[in-house]
Amino acid sequence: MRKDGKKIPDASKGDGEAPPNELRTVSRRALITGAAATAGSVMTVGAARGLGIEQSSLDPTRVPGERPVEVGSRSPFETPGKQLSGSAGGSSRTPLHELHGILTPADLHFERHHHGIPQIDPTQYRLLIHGMVDRPTLFTLDDLKRFPQVARLHFIECSGNGGAGSRTDANPRMSPQAMDGLLSTSEWSGVALATLFEEVGAHSDATWFLAEGSDAAVMSRSIPMEKAWDDAMIAYGQNGEAIRPEQGYPARLFLPGWEGNTSVKWVRRLELSDRPFMSREETSKYSDPILGGKARLFSFVMDAKSLITYPVYPDRLTSSGFVEISGYAWTGRGVIDRVEISTDGGSTWADAVLQEPVLPKCTTRFRYAWDWDGRPAHLMSRAIDETGYIQPTLEQITDVRGPGTRYHYNSIRGWRVNSNGSVEFQPPA
């Protein structure tokens, strides 16, 4: 039986269905007979195209295939796409439920812009590091590439991701892409920021730095120096190629595990100081009111979170029996330790299997074997990271932060499987 619950058809029995685990063989004679029967109808690719016949409808063993091209493309049968937003700043969402493994193809990586995508000539690119340093320096892209390169797999997530899924009146016909699609994972290549700060002679009493972008919004954020000395990098590569323009070409700041807005794209200036700069993005935005008339400032880390990506809306299970529940888990605090699955709305929980590789500050695949009995079910997942942090319910979040928060919604998500096999998002109670 396939992952979607469909039985594997038995070709020897016409249109009937065979037991899901039954193995079937075809004799050499049958293959020869079948080939002979179709030989007279085989035509060249050119002739087929002239008649409007796609090569896919022909016997691929009898027709020469396509020649190599300079830039490859997906099969015409595979059509994943980003979901575009109508927001003023512009954004797009990754089709999480259509991906395999943990890496996001660069052309499907989510986007979030505050004033469009600048086009920057790499030969004209400059990165200024100044302020509390011994040697203020202007780096070219070639200069950056001369330093020892680092390459690591990490997720990046917008701090506003998941807000729609944390509404009690959320639309049940909502896919993982629509709900949590501001999440992607790539291999990021570049130079460690600590290397550059050592090169310019960063002062020991410098505790913050300002990262400023080259976009029309001049995006800027204050970043603690501890992050620079830890794992921050200036990234110029993504998944084996130059970073895409929408991801910050020719270079961006990348802060593993922190809210995406801090990883300033098209970075042009880093200024070291002994205090935060309190830019627009950390005063009017990216802060949350909390109970007691206060606000959360500099809530950089993305807490542990998980999301089932199968079965989900708009999937439909066609029969009862084995279903492999699967999805993603991630945390900005290190490594995912466990993922638990509930099929009864949280009354009971069982451990899922974590699929290798399990890496720090990176999405991790989880899988759970479920025997669906055909009755309505309520699927949920919750992540636990290596610090012991447990993904909370929406009620637990609002008890601490109140109802006015806008960012860092990492509450447990639920999916309702109906008796007819259809799947819908289950809004939190």
At 228-271, the pLDDT tens digits run: 999 999 999 999 999 999 999 999 999 999 999 999 999 999 99
pLDDT band at 194 (very low <50, low <70, confident <90, very high): very high
CB 296 within 8 A of CB 287: yes
Q: Which residues pair with 369 in a beta bridge?
A: 324
Q: Return the half-sphere exposure (C-beta side, CA atoms, 13 A cut-off) of residue 58.
A: 22
pLDDT, position 166:
85
pLDDT in tens, 56-103: 567 888 888 889 999 999 999 999 999 998 655 589 999 999 999 999
- The pLDDT of residue 103: 97
Q: Which residue in 86, 362, 106 sits closest to 246, CA to CA? A: 106
Banded model confidence at residue 11, pLDDT cuts 50, 70, 90: very low
Instruction: Return the minimum-mean-pLDDT range out of 21-35, 97-111, 291-305, 397-411.
Output: 21-35
Q: Write the secondary structure of the chain as one string of H (helix), E (strand) and C (coil).
A: CCCCCCCCECHHHCCCECCCCCCCCCCHHHHHHHHHHHHCCCCCHHHHHHCCCCHHHCCCCCCCCCCCCCCCCCCCCCCCCCEECCCCCCEEECCHHHCCCCCCCHHHCCEECCCCCCCCCHHHCEEEEEECECCCEEEEHHHHHCCCCEEEEEEEECCCCCCHHHCCCCCCCCCHHHHHCCEEEEEEEEEEHHHHHHHHCECCCCCEEEEEECCCCCCEEEEEHHHHHHCCEEEEEECCEECCHHHCCCCEEECCCEEHHHCCCCEEEEEEECCCCCCHHHCCCCCEEECCCEEECCCCECCCEEEEEECCCCCECCCCEEEEEEEEEECCCCCEEEEEEECECCCCCEECEEECCCCCCCCEEEEEEEEECCCCEEEEEEEEECCCCECCCHHHHHHHHCCCCCCCCCCCCEEEECCCCEEEEECCC
Structural domains in the chain, sorted by start: 11-57 (no CATH), 83-296 (3.90.420.10), 305-426 (2.60.40.650)
Q: From residue 156, give the alpha-carbon distance in Å to each of 119, 219, 257, 264.
A: 22, 17, 7, 12
Does 179 score more than 80 pLDDT? yes
Q: How far apart are CA 392 and CA 401, in angstroms?
A: 12
Q: Return the closest-CA partner of residue 412 out of 388, 396, 399, 401.
A: 396
Q: What is the pLDDT of residue 404?
A: 73
**pLDDT surpasses 70 at 42:** no
- Please tell me the pTM assigned to this model: 0.85
For residues 328-336, give the mean pLDDT.
98
pLDDT at 35: 42
The per-residue pLDDT for 9 is: 44
Sequence-separated (6 or more) residues with CB below 8 Å from residue 327: 176, 306, 307, 308, 309, 310, 339, 365, 366, 381
Q: Please count the residues of the chain.
A: 429
Highest mean pLDDT among 8-17, 294-303, 356-365: 356-365
pLDDT score, position 88: 52
pLDDT value of position 164: 86
Tell which residue, 28, 31, 47, has the closest CA to residue 39.
31
In the block, which residue shows the tokens 């309520």? Answer: 378
More confident residue, 417 or 284: 417
**Per residue in 116-148, pLDDT tens?**
999 999 999 999 999 999 999 999 999 999 999
- Give the pLDDT score at 28: 40
Alpha-carbon distance 391 to 412, whole Å?
7
Residue 337: CB atoms within 10 Å: 18
Strand partners, 336: 385
